[in-house]
């Protein structure tokens, strides 16, 4: 196979980088219909059934001429998904309309969640002693060390990072979440696309506040209408394998064509080198 390279210019000063298109790094968790599945917020597993009408069965194994199935799942609950500000508004804002960016300069960082009691970070509702959070100190240190040219998207891998994340029951093993201070740091640094390997930016039982979602999209507490919808996106439930190193990448954020606040997505990273 021939090498496939793409030269991209990033930043006002025109720094040029080469992206290795021949080596795509898929960091998505697919929606699975057989075998172990993610369990998030008490949602139902993804399901499928054969489409049948009089004279037609959509299953070749049962004598049908082709396979045709009906799928039931939620983008928010059953795999990697990308969502927009329509997730928290009364207006039905579609993720398809939120952002037209395809290739984005991105930085991958690995962060260790910490016990809330070991930080001075805040959250609404109040942090509890057993909460594990992604704190401001870790986020700020990671962004300080990153190349500012690659700040369009921030991809966060949390520790521990075993492959069981792809089929984890988050009711039995609650996920860490961002403190309000950490999310303010992300928003103030100009990140347009935030990708995380947890089910939500916020605590699962947060009284419906969605504090960190609101901070990222610039929507005040209690507001359900926005005069100018944010073009920023959040991608949740990714999985970044251990052999993908921290650093700068070119991100191809592939979002399924759903006219909804969220859609299944397949984020792909490409290694870059400066030329």
* DSSP of 93-120: --HHHH----EEEEEEEEE--EEGGGS-
The helix (run of H) or strand (run of E) holding residue 161 is none
CATH code: domain of residue 260: 3.50.30.50
Classify residue 158: in a domain, yes or no. yes
Classify residue 254: in a domain, yes or no. yes
Classify residue 63: in a domain, yes or no. no
pLDDT in tens, 38-49: 999 999 999 999
Classify residue 5: in a domain, yes or no. no
- pLDDT at residue 2 in the model: 61
SS3 209: coil
pLDDT in tens, the chain (275 residues): 567 788 889 887 788 999 999 999 999 999 999 889 999 999 999 999 999 999 999 999 999 999 999 999 999 999 999 999 999 999 999 999 887 788 999 999 999 999 999 999 999 999 999 999 999 999 999 999 999 999 999 999 999 999 999 999 999 999 999 999 999 999 999 999 999 999 999 999 999 999 999 999 999 999 999 999 999 999 999 999 999 999 999 999 999 999 999 999 999 999 999 98
- How many whole angstroms separate alpha carbon 52 and alpha carbon 64? 10
Classify residue 67: in a domain, yes or no. no
- pLDDT at residue 212 in the model: 98
Burial of 147 (0-12, 13-18, 19+ CB in 10 A): middle
- pLDDT at residue 270 in the model: 98
Q: Which domain range does residue 171 map to?
A: 25-32+74-274
Classify residue 219: in a domain, yes or no. yes
Nearest to 179 by CA among 118, 228, 221: 118
- Tokens in use for 12? 């006002």
Q: In the chain, how many domains are there?
A: 1
- pLDDT at residue 13 in the model: 75
Classify residue 109: in a domain, yes or no. yes
Classify residue 201: in a domain, yes or no. yes
């Amino acid at each position: 196979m021939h090498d496939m390279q793409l030269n991209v210019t990033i930043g006002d000063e025109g720094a040029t980088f080469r992206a290795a298109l021949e080596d795509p790094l898929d960091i998505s968790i697919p929606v699975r219909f057989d075998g172990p599945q993610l369990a998030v917020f008490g949602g139902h597993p993804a399901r499928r059934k054969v489409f049948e009408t009089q004279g037609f069965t959509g299953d070749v194994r049962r004598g049908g001429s082709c396979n045709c199935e009906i799928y039931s799942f939620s983008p928010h609950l059953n795999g990697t998904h990308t969502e927009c500000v329509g997730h928290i508004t009364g207006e039905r804002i579609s993720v398809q309309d939120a952002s037209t960016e395809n290739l984005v300069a991105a930085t991958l960082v690995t962060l260790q969640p910490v016990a809330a009691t070991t930080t001075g970070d805040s959250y609404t509702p109040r942090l509890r002693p057993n909460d594990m959070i992604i704190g401001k100190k870790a986020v700020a240190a990671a962004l300080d060390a990153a190349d500012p040219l690659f700040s369009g998207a921030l991809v966060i891998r949390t520790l521990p990072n075993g492959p069981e994340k792809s089929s984890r029951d988050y009711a039995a093993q609650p996920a860490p979440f961002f403190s309000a201070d950490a999310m303010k740091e992300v928003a103030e640094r100009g990140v347009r696309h935030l990708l995380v390997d947890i089910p939500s930016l916020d605590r699962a039982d947060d009284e419906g506040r969605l504090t960190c979602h609101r901070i990222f999209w610039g929507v005040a507490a209690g507001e359900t209408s926005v005069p100018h919808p944010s073009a920023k996106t959040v991608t949740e439930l990714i999985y970044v394998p251990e052999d993908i190193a921290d650093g700068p990448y070119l991100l191809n954020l592939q979002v399924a064509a759903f006219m909804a606040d969220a859609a299944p997505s397949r984020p792909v990273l490409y290694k870059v080198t400066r030329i």
